[in-house]
Amino acid sequence: YYFKPPTISWGILFPLAFAFAFSLRNPQGLRELAPGLLAMSALFGTSSMSVGSIMFERRSQSFEQALQAPISLLGVVLGKALGGFLFGLLVCSAMALTVVVFFGASILHPALAALTLLLSSFLFSAFGVFLALSVGREFDAMILANSVRLPMLFLSGVFIPVSRFPAYLRAVACFLPLTYTVDLLRHSLVGGYDLVPPLLSLLAILAMTAASLWGGVKMLERRLG
């Protein structure tokens, strides 16, 4: 399933297509969009893999067999999240290279950028596992994932800083994991932050990761119960 159509199209081609589209529309504005594009590649690269792996394993019944192994439900969720995390890192690395080499973006805080991509990639992968386990039919998983991820692109500051949003949309953005990734990457690449200080963004990512893992375990318990 690493090279299944949903994984390739949503995990790799979609972020690259967005970058190419914006390069044609506004080549001079790509540096400003670099944090958002990196965050988007982390979101789609990791979650597409974690959702896709569970989707295809449920179809082949191998996922049910894995649940019979002598391993805790948390271990199952962590294992699926780790697979998406590793795949997503490859996508993020390719996008980071594109942003630096072809877009001419500079990284003011490389260590923070690397930490942000690591933590965010695992968060998005765990979030994808939670979404995939939330549906009854396996092919509904990608539909649910896209219905959540696509609105996130426009509500998390990927294209327009959250500070320019109306107050009610800023409140919505505070509950979206992608918001904190974009904010941290913006601080790492161009300096400053848009919503909250970097430390609070890191804490928010850790809290949302724990919530996603807990949600995944609860979905498995419901499925087995």
Sign of the C-alpha dihedral computed for residues 47, 202, 179 and 20 taken in this order: negative
Look at 6-10, 17-21, 52-56, 197-201 and tell me which has the smallest mean pLDDT.
6-10
Rounded to the nearest 10 degrees, what angle do helices 30-59 and 14-25 cross at? Answer: 160
pLDDT at 105: 74
Contacts of 49 (CB under 8 A, 6+ apart): 1, 2, 7, 11, 83, 84, 87, 88, 125, 128
**For the whole model, what pTM was predicted?**
0.89
The 10s digit of each residue's pLDDT in 167-207 is 999 999 999 999 999 999 999 988 888 888 999 999 999 99
- Examine the pLDDT at 8 and tell me if it is beyond 80: no
The 10s digit of each residue's pLDDT in 66-121 is 777 788 889 989 998 998 898 888 888 887 887 777 777 788 899 999 999 999 99
Q: Provide the residue ranges of all domains of the chain, joining segments of one domain with +.
A: 5-224
- Average pLDDT across the chain, whole number: 85
Do 185 and 39 form a contact (C-beta atoms < 8 A)? Answer: yes
pLDDT at 21: 75
DSSP label of 162:
G
Do 84 and 125 form a contact (C-beta atoms < 8 A)? Answer: yes
- Examine the pLDDT at 5 and tell me if it is beyond 80: no
- Examine the pLDDT at 1 and tell me if it is beyond 80: no
